[in-house]
Amino acid sequence: MGKLAITGGKPVRQKPFTAWPIYTQKEKQGLLKVLASRNWGGYPFPNKLADAFAQKFARFHGAKYGLAVANGTIAIEIALKAIGIQPGDEVIVPAYTWEGTVGPILLLNAIPVFVDIDPDTYCLDAKLIEKALTSKTRAILPVHLAMRFADMDEIMRIARERRLAVIEDCAHAHGGKWCNKGAGAIGDVGCFSFQSSKLMTAGEGGGVITSKLEYHERAQSFMNCGRASVTDKFRHRLIGFNYRLTELQAAILEAQLARLPQQAKVRQANMDYFEKRVRGTPGLDFLKPDPRQTRVAAYQFVFKYLPEHFQGIPRAAFLGALQMEGVPCDGLFYEPVYRSALFPVDAKEWPALSWGRPEPLNLKTLYHCPVSERAAYEEAVWLPHHIFLGSRKDTEDIAGAVRKVCENIGELRGLKPPAIEVKAMSRAERPRVEKRQW
């Protein structure tokens, strides 16, 4: 029997952390009101609550126009359509992100071009973008990942110089700011997700914000079955789909948005405290803060586990032990998309990968992004945001558990219980063994 819970010791934490999502009477009343109104869906578009919420959400981030849509993946598809992406166009994306950032590019028969991430932020490395540009590049799609922003100054400079559109994937960045500009309102279009794990949620849902009326109009038509937009100044006509959000979800999101600033404050104070308590632990490293990120919106607290310091004991063992100490955590949260089992791309299904080429592009073998691969398979540790919504004592427990596992890492040598095995599984495999997955 060792000191660690995984080897039979007493866990640091036995009580659960703050449950997520959080709801109060506000959500309940909002839902009941919609129920009684019998106006539940997204039609007639943009309907009432969905429209009111979308406008408020856009203004909150400093954009002129907003749309409430079915989910974050669709938000990206809508944004790509809004900027007028054409089959065969290339879109720059970070290699290290959720597959939902990339799938919509293929869906529109365009081509994702993977670029590695910056080791200081785990976001798209703006220094590598220029090398990846070709005559077919049409857009850059940075992701403000976990707790940092991509370098939007440099990305906007490149985009302006090369006349490229910029779509910000802000699925992790509700309320975040870069140089005092809101997430999603720096580039041309911003996309958000309101899926269960996100900083505000209606179970599912998404948002698209922009300050360009033309993009807003095209987005409306695309998400509303091709119907004319409300203003219809540009008179674009295109084949569209039903990607509307329901009034039931909009009622929940209204309450969630009102609560976001207060939650962000608590979360940030606890995360700062956590970092203070674990900084200096040998073998751990941290993402670098950037003073241009004027408001942090941390979706998860991400830090680095350096396996070479821990005599090669893999991250999965550290995570399994941390989980057994009572702290929810993840490592293989994302993979470089080109290597992910959730990205079984086959050129036969996506004709743009073959056009004008002697051999189709093989997105699975074309890329090697070392920083993304190290983050994904060795180094990154992800702690969910809601565990930082509790008390100082909760945060003290998280920090205590991290330090305890590091100090007793030797106990993990050669161990392979299910708690560790599950931490080495990809997100494609895990739903078979885990009941609840964000």
CB of 324 to ligand PLP, least distance (A): 26
Contact 165, 36 (CB under 8 A): no
Which one, of 365, 356, 301, 360, lies nearest residue 333 by Cα? 301
The nearer residue to ligand PLP, 148 or 172, going by C-beta atoms, is 172
SS3 94: strand
The nearer residue to ligand PLP, 6 or 79, going by C-beta atoms, is 79
Lay out the sheet containing 284-286: strands in order across: 284-286, 300-305, 380-384
The nearer residue to ligand PLP, 206 or 320, going by C-beta atoms, is 206
CB of 204 to ligand PLP, least distance (A): 6
Instruction: For residue 337, give both structure tokens.
Output: 């998309």
CB of 209 to ligand PLP, least distance (A): 15
Q: Which residue is nearest to ligand PLP (CB)?
A: 72
The nearer residue to ligand PLP, 146 or 319, going by C-beta atoms, is 146
> Which amino acid would we find at residue 73?
T
- Show contacts with ligand PLP in window 277-306 (CB under 6 A): none
- Show contacts with ligand PLP in window 64-123 (CB under 6 A): 71-73, 97-98, 100-101
- 393 CB contacts (<8 Å, ≥6 apart)? none
Q: How many residues in total does the chain contain?
A: 438
CB of 58 to ligand PLP, least distance (A): 18
Residue count, binding to ligand PLP (CB under 6 A) = 14
CB of 143 to ligand PLP, least distance (A): 5
CB of 210 to ligand PLP, least distance (A): 17
Lay out the sheet containing 165-169: strands in order across: 65-69, 206-210, 189-193, 165-169, 137-140, 90-94, 111-115
Question: For residues 438 and 420, what is the distance between their CA atoms, to the nearest angstrom?
Answer: 19
The nearer residue to ligand PLP, 217 or 254, going by C-beta atoms, is 254
Which one, of 437, 62, 423, 121, lies nearest residue 298 by Cα? 121
Phi-psi region of 324 (alpha: psi -120 to 50; beta: other; left: phi over 0): alpha
Contact 170, 177 (CB under 8 A): no
- Show contacts with ligand PLP in window 185-224 (CB under 6 A): 193, 195, 206
Q: Does 323 bind ligand PLP (CB under 6 A)?
A: no
The nearer residue to ligand PLP, 60 or 98, going by C-beta atoms, is 98
DSSP state of 56: H
> Which amino acid would we find at residue 129?
I
CB of 360 to ligand PLP, least distance (A): 26
The nearer residue to ligand PLP, 46 or 206, going by C-beta atoms, is 206
CB of 145 to ligand PLP, least distance (A): 7
- Show contacts with ligand PLP in window 364-393 (CB under 6 A): none
The nearer residue to ligand PLP, 171 or 353, going by C-beta atoms, is 171
**In degrees rounded to 5, what are phi and psi of residue 314?**
-70, 160
- 343 CB contacts (<8 Å, ≥6 apart)? 99, 102, 103, 337, 363, 364
- Show contacts with ligand PLP in window 132-191 (CB under 6 A): 143, 169, 171-172
Residues that bind ligand PLP (CB under 6 A): 71-73, 97-98, 100-101, 143, 169, 171-172, 193, 195, 206
